[in-house]
């Protein structure tokens, strides 16, 4: 009943451990009959190779690390689901690490990952990580690394990101096309790659439609409590008043929603609202929330695919490339007059 080892099989069959090992690996220098016996015995004893011993031997631990800011975040947990799915299918375990947005924990996590002999690292940078020396060093030591979502251009690895620019462009364009002229943009920490790309998409759309860019309409916020309301109030106090809000996250969008409700502004009649990323309850809000959906699952799948290819050296000299996964504009009631009264459950 206890975990069987090669030694158990060897004893049972009165042969040596090495022969058992080779038989199970289907080595050419083992007799077919012996192989059959070993296989049969292994199955009978429910033999499973001990990954710890394999790791110690130094070959491969068949485990990868995924380092994310936090898992209490639908986007990241979805990405992890995609990662796990593909990794497991290809025979790898996934070790999950949270940085809680601090540089210190990011370093500690990577140290742990190395200690546990992972074969590779998937990382989405913590918002506090301005320096990436720890990652460059890790890479120089030969650790395969792939970045996703929050990436750094200074670290020369494959990157998998959502089309933040395209998504923001589409959202802004949608608002413009539905007649909005003063579009406020509520967004997150300005130094993140995703923030910059979304802001760029917003600006590009304004420009293409001949609308002026007004930096008063752009506000940066963290997720601190009681932070969104005041910002929304500031924006609403501007003249002329904004007629649309485009937020860089659904969490911000929900905050907007509440603040607008409170001021008895009707959505989308008075103000249109479009969010970003994919909160599960977006379709259940009132009004249901238009949003730029990021394919978190797919990003995870693609990213881990790259990493495993890297580990298994399928693409040796191929230079690291950046994969951009398209986002989808999901139109719901919060930005479409016609849908306000429509059934959406």
Partner DNA sequence: TTTATTTGCGCAAACGTTGTCGGCAACGTT
Partner DNA sequence: AACGTTGCCGACAACGTTTGCGCAAATAAA
Interface residues with DNA (CB under 7 A) are 3, 5-7, 14-19, 21-22, 24-25, 29-34, 47-50, 53-54, 56-59
Among 182, 185, 219, 251, binds its own copies (CB under 8 A): 251
116 binds its own copies (CB under 8 A): yes
Smallest separation (angstroms) from DNA to the CB of 24: 6
262 binds its own copies (CB under 8 A): yes
Residue 337, CB half-sphere, CA atoms under 13 Å: how many?
Answer: 8
Label residue 226 exposed, middle or buried (CB < 10 Å: 0-12, 13-18, 19+).
Answer: exposed
* Omega prior to 75 cis, within 30 of 0: no
Nearer to DNA, 19 or 157 (CB): 19
Please list, residue by residue across 316-332, b when 16 or more beta carbons sit within 10 angstroms of its beta carbon and e when fewer do. Answer: eeeeeeeebbebebbeb
Question: Binding mask 14-33 vs its own copies (x if CB under 8 A, - otherwise)?
Answer: --------------------
Contact 247, 188 (CB under 8 A): no
Nearer to its own copies, 117 or 306 (CB): 117
Stretch in the footprint of its own copies (CB under 8 A) among 18-26, 34-42, 193-201, 274-282? 274-282
Smallest separation (angstroms) from its own copies to the CB of 49: 8
91 binds its own copies (CB under 8 A): no
Q: What is the DSSP letter of 93?
A: E
- Nearest-angstrom CA–CA distance, 42 and 102: 46
Question: Binding mask 123-162 vs its own copies (x if CB under 8 A, - otherwise)?
Answer: --------------x---x---------------------
Helix axis angle for 74-89 and 296-311, nearest 10°, is 40
- Nearest-angstrom CA–CA distance, 31 and 256: 72
Sign of CA dihedral 28, 33, 36, 38: negative
Question: How open is the CA angle 242-247-252, to the nearest 5 degrees?
Answer: 110
Nearer to its own copies, 244 or 267 (CB): 267
203 binds its own copies (CB under 8 A): no
The residues of the shown chain that bind its own copies, judged by CB under 8 A, are: 1-3, 48, 50-53, 55-56, 61, 70-74, 77-78, 80-81, 84, 93, 95-96, 98, 111-112, 114-117, 137, 141, 226, 228-229, 251, 254-255, 257-259, 261-262, 279-281, 284-286, 288, 343-345
């Amino acid at each position: 009943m206890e975990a069987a080892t090669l030694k158990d099989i060897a004893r049972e069959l009165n042969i040596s451990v090495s022969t058992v090992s080779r038989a199970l690996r289907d080595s050419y220098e083992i007799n077919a009959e012996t192989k059959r016996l070993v296989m049969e015995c292994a199955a009978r004893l429910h033999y499973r190779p001990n990954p710890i011993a394999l790791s110690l031997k130094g070959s491969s631990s068949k485990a990868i690390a995924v380092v994310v800011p936090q898992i209490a975040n639908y986007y990241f947990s979805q990405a992890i689901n995609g990662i796990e799915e593909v990794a497991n299918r290809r025979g790898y375990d996934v070790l999950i690490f949270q940085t809680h947005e601090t540089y210190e924990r990011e370093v500690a996590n990577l140290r742990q990952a190395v200690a546990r002999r992972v074969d590779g690292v998937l990382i989405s940078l913590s918002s506090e990580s301005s320096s990436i020396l720890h990652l460059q060093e890790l890479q120089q030591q030969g650790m395969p690394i792939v970045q996703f979502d929050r990436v750094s251009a200074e670290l020369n690895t494959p990157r998998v990101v959502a089309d933040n620019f395209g998504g923001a462009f589409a959202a802004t364009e949608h608002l413009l096309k539905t007649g909005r002229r003063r579009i406020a943009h509520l967004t997150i920490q300005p130094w993140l790659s995703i923030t910059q790309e979304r802001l760029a998409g917003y600006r590009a759309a304004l420009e293409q439609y001949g609308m002026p860019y007004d930096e008063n309409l752009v506000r940066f916020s963290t997720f601190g409590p009681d932070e969104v309301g005041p910002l929304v109030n500031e924006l609403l106090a501007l003249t002329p008043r904004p007629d649309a809000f485009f937020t860089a996250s659904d969490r911000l969008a929900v905050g907007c929603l509440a603040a607008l409700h409170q001021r008895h502004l009707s959505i989308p009649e008075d103000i249109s609202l479009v969010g970003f990323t994919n909160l599960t309850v977006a379709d259940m809000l009132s009004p249901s929330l238009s949003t730029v959906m990021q394919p978190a699952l797919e990003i995870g799948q693609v990213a881990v695919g790259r990493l495993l290819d890297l580990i298994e050296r399928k693409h040796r000299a191929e230079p690291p490339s950046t994969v951009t996964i398209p986002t989808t504009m999901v139109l719901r009631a919060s930005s479409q007059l016609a849908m306000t009264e429509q059934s959406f459950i």
